Structures are given as C-alpha cells and as structure tokens.
Amino acid sequence: MRAAAVAPPGRLRATFLAQPHLRVLIAGAGIGGLTAALALSRIGMTVALFDQAERLEETGAGIQLSPNATRVLIALGLADRIEGAVVAPAAIRLRTSSGRNIATLPLGAAIAARHGAPYWVVHRADLQRALLGAVKAEPRISLTLGAKVDDFDIDAAGVCAFVCGTACPDGTDERGSALIGADGLWSTIRYRLGDLAPPRFAGRTAWRALIPAAILPPQFAEPMIHLWIGPLGHLVHYPVRAGAAIHIVAVARDPWQSAAWDTPASREEVLARFPTPQWAGEARDVLAAAERWQKWPLGDRAPSRPWGRGPVTLLGDAAHPMLPFLAQGAAMAIEDAAVLAREFARRPDDPAVALRRYEATRQPRTERVQRAARRNDFNYHLGFPGAYFRDATLRALGGERLIARYDWLFEWAS
Ligand SMILES: Cc1cc2nc3c(=O)[nH]c(=O)nc-3n(C[C@H](O)[C@H](O)[C@H](O)COP(=O)(O)OP(=O)(O)OC[C@H]3O[C@@H](n4cnc5c(N)ncnc54)[C@H](O)[C@@H]3O)c2cc1C
C-alpha cells in the first residue's frame, strides 16, 4: 500500500539565494511553521523557530493531503521521509448516514496523473516527524521549544520579539528581519497585531480515534476514504500508517466550547450522537471499534484582512482558520509556506514588501477555501427534503465530475 510520489520540478530548491543577513522569526512549529521554516531555509534564509510546547507531539489523528499540498512537500524534498507512512487512497466513497451510496470520487493514479502530484492520507505524527526531521537536518534553522512568542516591537532594523517559557524563564528578546505568526487558531501574534476578537465556535465537535486495522474486517484497511453524511453529523474514516491503522473522525452538533486540543471522550458519548436507525450498522461498527477517543470543538473565523503590518505577518490557521469540511487547513498552511519563500526570494531586500505580496497572493485563495468549507458544513448536514435533492444531484453528476469540481483547488502550484 506504499504510495508512489509524482515528483514535480524542485521549484523551491531552484530559487536558492544566499541571504545570510536575513533572519526570520517564526512563532509556532505546527505543520505551517515547520513547512515555512523549511521553505525559507531552502532559499538560503536563516530561521529561528519557536514553539510554546515543551514537546512537539501530535495526538492520534489522520490528515488528508491533496495534490496542492503534496506538490509543495515533495518539492521540499520530503517524499523520502514520508512515503513509507502514507496511503494513496484510490477513491472517496460518499454515502448517506443510512448507508446508501451517493458517489465514488476517483483519487489514486487518476488524480496524480491529472494534477502531477499524489493525494495522500497520513497520520499527523508521521507528517510532523518527517517535517521535524528535515528541520533538524537543516543548519539554517534553529528550533526552540518551551518558547512562547508573547509580543513584538517593530523598529527601523526589523522586528524584536519577546520570547518567554521554560526555555527562557526570564524572557528574552529575539531580533529578526521579519516575524511570521504561525501560532494557530488562538494566535497571540494575531492578537498583538490588533485583532482582539476570539475565533468563532461552530457549534460542532469533532471526535477522533485511531485503531489498529486488524480489529476491523479487511475491507476497512483498503486504500479508500469513507465519508458518511447525515443531518445529525458526518463520519470520515480511512487507513493511515501504510494501512496498519484506521483513523476515524466523527463530527456532530454540540454546544461544548474549549481551547484544548486533547480532551478525552468516551465511546458511549460518540455512539449516542450517531444513533440507529439514522446511522447504518457498518458506520456504528466503526465507531464502536474505537475505545479511546479525543474530542475538540470546531472553530474558524470569517475571512479578514489585513493579516500583517510592516515585517510581521500570519500564516496557516493564525491567518485563515477554517472548518475541516474541505480537509484543507493544513494544505493552505503548506501553500502559504511556499508562497512566503517565493516572495522573500523575489524581494530579499525588503521584507515588508515581500510580506504584503505574500498576503495579496494568498488572501483571495484562502478566503475562497474558508467559504467553501463553511458551505460544506451546510451541505453535509442537510435534512429532508434538502438532503434528498442534494443526493439526487450528486448521483446524477457522478464521481468523476464531482472530483473535477475541485480542479481549482488541487491544480494550484506556487
Ligand atoms: C477535525 C479536523 C480535521 C482536519 N483535517 C484536515 C485534513 O484532512 N487536511 C488538512 O489539510 N487540514 C485538516 N485540518 C486542519 C489542520 O489541522 C490545521 O489547519 C493545521 O494543523 C494548522 O496548522 P498551523 O501550523 O497553522 O497551526 P497549528 O497546528 O495549530 O500549530 C500552531 C503551533 O503554534 C504553537 N504556538 C501557539 N502559540 C504560540 C506562541 N505564541 N509562540 C510560540 N508557539 C506558539 C502551538 O504550540 C502549535 O505547535 C483538520 C482540522 C481538524 C480540526
């Protein structure tokens, strides 16, 4: 079940410029911050990466990486580090919660041929390990954990960030030519830039679990993304870890609000939200197979501008948090990283200009994706009669035309 990578031209490596005088500070070493650090180092920049966490660990969850994201990761030279852990699903099987087939959207070789890059599903920890390994192997990047970027000042020489945490208990000032806030949904850098409004809770909770593939019948380990949609919620499951484990995410309406990422939840709590007869036995069997669950409330923001000021900007969820209903949050962070490096390579003499050009390129696209993700919230969870007409329309279109509707998303290249 090892996936074949389609290697695009190494764009990021091709734009190497030696810029040793430029030191970029990045707050946050999530998928966005790690990818940005790598992309900037590949064009010759020095990067100081800080994360408030003492250890970078990803809880048991999977992630879909569409060709617009895998193209960047492969160009950064990550294929060798990650290929052994990914699955390239052959298709997305879309069903109603009662189990009726709606459509099968082809992925696999078809999508790799169409877009020149594969569609992968991967355990987040495996993606993070690959990114972290590449970051640690890069002498231009320093990574400090237990280091929260709490504030910054802009002056004529660039930016001075105030960093505190267990790595520097008394706090320390870090100077850079630019500061990138890749610090997630609850971004401190966004707040310090003047956006004091908290993110919006969507009134939905996602429960996620990872189970050994061996405890389910063999068809669940086949390379396929299963998406079940119903008025009460939706369910996604697919194999990760080269088919050895199954990732499950179940989303339902729920008023719970919290900023935590790893709240434990019980199997009973999940099953209660996916009751019979609305949910097919097969869907409930998948849910019942997982004993340990974690949950987190879903949130986003409406698209907003500006993202930054002077030599400071935002990237990833800090800039454009979105609902996960298009599976594009991390993909957008990865795209951001590639564009950031491209614009720094074009205007290495003027970080503020490079950052405004980065923002101007990224904003229309990420806004479109944020809106499309919110629309999917509405479309996935329609009740009767809307669901009836939705399903009839999707069936009539068929899988090939449905996946082609995402060409605008997947064919992107920096
Ligand atoms: C249920 C669910 C499923 C999803 N599925 C997909 C999917 O299939 N495909 C996809 O592309 N996306 C998916 N996403 C979205 C994706 O997880 C996020 O968009 C992505 O992880 C955002 O990455 P980031 O680096 O911007 O932020 P984060 O991952 O939130 O990382 C931010 C980092 O910053 C650190 N930090 C925070 N504040 C500070 C500070 N002040 N100083 C220093 N460090 C700080 C944090 O410790 C953290 O490490 C999903 C999201 C959810 C909720």
| Rounded-to-integer distance, Cα 259 and Cα 341, Å | 30
Q: Are 43 and 37 in contact (CB under 8 A)?
A: no
* 167-217 per-position pLDDT tens digit: 999 999 999 999 999 999 999 999 999 999 999 999 999 999 999 999 999
Q: Tell me which amino acid residue 159 is.
A: V
Q: Residue 12: pLDDT above 80?
A: no
Which residues on adjacent β-strands are paired with residue 201?
299
Residue from 335, 287, 297, 275 nearest 31 by CA:
335
Q: Is any atom of ligand 1 closer than 6 Å to the C-beta of 328?
A: yes
Expressed in angstroms, the distance from the first to the final Cα of the chain is 29
Q: Is any atom of ligand 1 closer than 6 Å to the C-beta of 249?
A: yes
For residue 68, report the distance from its CA to the centre of ligand 1, in Å: 18
Beta strands 120-123 and 62-65 are antiparallel
Q: Residue 1: pLDDT above 60?
A: no
Q: Residue 14: pLDDT above 50?
A: no
Angle between helices 31-42 and 124-136 (to 10 degrees): 30
| Rounded-to-integer distance, Cα 400 and Cα 391, Å | 15
* 332-360 per-position pLDDT tens digit: 999 999 999 999 999 988 999 999 999 99
Q: Is any atom of ligand 1 closer than 6 Å to the C-beta of 53?
A: yes
Q: Is 377 helix (H, G, I), strand (E, B) or coil?
A: helix
Beta strands 120-123 and 141-145 are unpaired
Which whole-number Å values give the CA distances from 231 to 5, 274, 280, 394, in the listed order? 37, 10, 13, 16
| pLDDT score of 232 | 87
Q: Is any atom of ligand 1 closer than 6 Å to the C-beta of 111?
A: no
Residue 236 has a CB neighbour count (10 Å cut-off) of: 23
Q: Is any atom of ligand 1 closer than 6 Å to the C-beta of 377?
A: no
**Residues classed as catalytic:** 238
Among 68, 317, 320, 366, name the best residue to mutate to test ligand 1's pocket (greatest count of ligand atoms within 8 A of Cβ): 317
Question: Cβ contacts of residue 253 below 8 Å, gap of 6+?
Answer: 203, 204, 232, 233, 381
* 385-399 per-position pLDDT tens digit: 999 999 999 999 999
Alpha carbon nearest to ligand 1 atom 50, residue: 324
Q: Residue 369: pLDDT above 60?
A: yes
For residue 218, report the distance from its CA to the centre of ligand 1, in Å: 32
Indicate which atom in ligand 1 lies nearest the CA of residue 163: 42
Q: Is any atom of ligand 1 closer than 6 Å to the C-beta of 316?
A: yes
For residue 302, report the distance from its CA to the centre of ligand 1, in Å: 17
| pLDDT score of 146 | 98
For residue 229, report the distance from its CA to the centre of ligand 1, in Å: 24
Among 87, 183, 235, name the best residue to mutate to test ligand 1's pocket (greatest count of ligand atoms within 8 A of Cβ): 183
Strands (E), 134-232: 141-145, 148-155, 158-165, 168-176, 178-181, 200-212, 224-230
| pLDDT score of 61 | 86
Indicate which atom in ligand 1 lies nearest the CA of residue 331: 11
pLDDT band at 110 (very low <50, low <70, confident <90, very high): very high
Q: Is any atom of ligand 1 closer than 6 Å to the C-beta of 70?
A: no
Which whole-number Å values give the CA distances from 388 to 283, 382, 384, 402, in the listed order? 20, 9, 6, 17
